[in-house]
Structure 1
Amino acid sequence: MNDSLLDTVRRYVETDADGQAQTPVPGLTTIRSTAPSGLVYAIPRPLVCLVLQGSKQVVMGTRIVSCRAGDSLLITADVPTVSQVTVASIAAPYLSLVLDLDPAVIADLAVEMPMEPDAGRVAVHAQPTDAEVADAALRLMRLLDRPAAVPVLHVQLVRELHYWLLVGRHGAAIRRLGGPDGHFRRVARAVAMLRTGFAQPLRVDRLAQAAGMSPSSFHHHFRGVTSLSPLQFQKQLRLIEARRLLRSEGLSASSAAFAVGYESVSQFTREYGRLFGLPPVQDTLTQRRAHR
């Protein structure tokens, strides 16, 4: 890993509180943690995470992926994950740089780059970060010191970073994101609809239509990409957002339940406890005690 990238990110986040922070470059965020974290439940968009200091662990189903400083974590599908920062301290915080992968940029680059797509279906990978990826990320971070240059130059630097990812260790797995009409991209259109409208009643026929598939084919390919049925996917989106509302916004359990689309508070409480291990009120109290 390029030590200058670590130094640059460290300086950039040194006055930030722990957590994730969006940079002025769209889709580029930093993550900082001064202590090992609790479990974080999410359905992230496709991304690459450059771990610069400390370590983290990501669980997808029964698959456990560990990442330490110098590794890149790649998530190529909207799959449910449980992540946890495992090594971090005040003296040496966990630091990482996260870039959302852009299928349009990948598709454009792939036209000029003959590569075979990844035949596997594993959506979470960890590999040592390629030197060219670290160098491109460093130049992108240095751009933040020149705010006037960001809107002019960031697009080409983000494109270059995608290029080095495509020709590097993660390339074959990333390439399928750019397929113009494959099942992956079709399902992605339905996922985008679910993400924006998860609080609304589920209309599988509309999702299948957006994906250009029959309902039965859509169910099959949706589960193949995300590991969940559309209903399970919507339920996890609702519960993850409800947990955020409880913890960050201070909503009551009933208010959070209705805000994310539940009509029954008792059903919400059961499903929340099934996913997170504790009912809403107890889970929130436990989180507050841990941060006192």
Structure 2
Amino acid sequence: MIDTLLAAVRRYTQLHADAAGVARTPIPGLTTLRAIAPSGLDYAIARPLVALVVQGTKQVAMAGQAFTFSAGDSLLITADVPTASRILRASVGEPYLSLVLDLDPAVIAELAVEMKAAPLADAAPVQVEPTDVDVADAALRLMRLVERPASVPVLQAQLVREMHYWLLAGRHGAAIRRLGYPDGHVQRVARAVAVLRAEFARPLTVARLAAAAGMSPSSFHQHFRAVTSLSPLQFQKQLRLIEARRLMLSLGLNPSQAAFSVGYESVPQFTREYGRMFGAPPVRDVKRARHGVEAAA
């Protein structure tokens, strides 16, 4: 089954991948990825998702732990957590290929009730396991569907729901189930994270974020760190720095412009914090982006 899914993902990415190797599908939340060479570190605040690797090898680091996964493995992320990822094995002849599906808490909640799922279990927010056969089979049918665009509006909902069902029924079930409890800590923290994502460039108080989560400030701070591995302030800082890096690399902003765009009032402070996170000052990435443009010209 994985070999057949490999063929479907390869075919779709060859036709639709953009310059960054991302091939979005007409099904919301379903994306395929392609890389033809090993990569440097890519920093992000991940959303809850499952990634099925069908070729190549990738590594994701989170909170001091590194997870390496290859063809036949699935990466599961069940909370908004900071990650640093890189492609370890990829080539023109055998590119890194994966299929990524955003997890839908509403679908998970509905299915958990219908399945009479076992009580919620604590689970790490990042896990790597072999891909279940039923999950791979559902993923293949999703890929076949996107090749028939006229059928997508009619069939996408039931196939996405089926994919969630097999994920819940398989080895990832206990971890995914946390996303289906609207009053659970994970979903309460997620409401605060939504505010941080939308307004990261503005000053935000813990009191406001705690109110969004429906918690007291002290309880919110404790649960926020337990879910994301960061304090709210650290989370906002990483969002700002990741966006500043994107602005410099993709839009050519200089460090001062990027710093002010993401909410910093002090360029020296921005430079210090950028260097601590990415291992070098922002001017290095600006120069790298400019050299890349010149080389492509």
Give yes or no for TM over 0.5: yes
C-alpha displacement at 1:286, in angstroms? 3.7
Q: In the alignment, residue 19 of structure 1 is paired with which amino acid?
A: G
Whether the 8 Å contact between 1:28 and 1:98 is mirrored in structure 2 is yes
Given the alignment of the two structures, is residue 7 of structure 1 paired with residue 29 of structure 2, yes or no? Answer: no
Q: How many residues align?
A: 292
Distance 1:138 1:284 in 2: 40
Distance 1:21 1:243 in 2: 22
Given the alignment of the two structures, is residue 142 of structure 1 paired with residue 144 of structure 2, yes or no? Answer: yes
Q: In the alignment, residue 195 of structure 2 is paired with which amino acid?
A: M
Structure 2: runs of 5 or more not aligned: none
Whether the 8 Å contact between 2:207 and 2:217 is mirrored in structure 1 is yes
Aligned to 1:24: 26
Whether the 8 Å contact between 1:57 and 1:67 is mirrored in structure 2 is yes
Aligned to 1:46: 48
Distance 1:58 1:290 in 2: 25
TM-score (norm 2): 0.94
C-alpha displacement at 1:144, in angstroms? 1.2
Structure 1: runs of 5 or more not aligned: none
Distance 1:31 1:137 in 2: 14
Whether the 8 Å contact between 2:248 and 2:285 is mirrored in structure 1 is no
1:241 to 240, 243, 253: 243
Q: Are the structure 2 counterparts of residues 9 and 288 from structure 1 closer, same or farther at C-alpha, using a change threshold of 3 Å? A: farther
2:105 to 100, 103, 119: 103
Listed one character per residue, the Cα deviations across residues 89-109 of structure 1 (whole Å, up to 9, x for unaligned) are 000000000000011110010
C-alpha displacement at 1:146, in angstroms? 1.4
Distance 1:288 1:83 in 2: 23
Listed one character per residue, the Cα deviations across residues 26-77 of structure 1 (whole Å, up to 9, x for unaligned) are 1111111000010011111000000010000111122111100000000111
Whether the 8 Å contact between 2:200 and 2:240 is mirrored in structure 1 is yes
Q: In the alignment, residue 5 of structure 2 is paired with which amino acid?
A: L
Given the alignment of the two structures, is residue 222 of structure 1 paired with residue 230 of structure 2, yes or no? Answer: no
Whether the 8 Å contact between 1:18 and 1:34 is mirrored in structure 2 is no
CA RMSD of aligned residues (A): 1.5
Per mean C-alpha deviation after superposition, the further-off stretch among 13-22 and 71-80 is 13-22
Per mean C-alpha deviation after superposition, the further-off stretch among 122-131 and 112-121 is 112-121
C-alpha displacement at 1:82, in angstroms? 0.8
Q: Percent identity?
A: 70
Distance 2:216 2:264 in 1: 27
Distance 2:131 2:189 in 1: 29
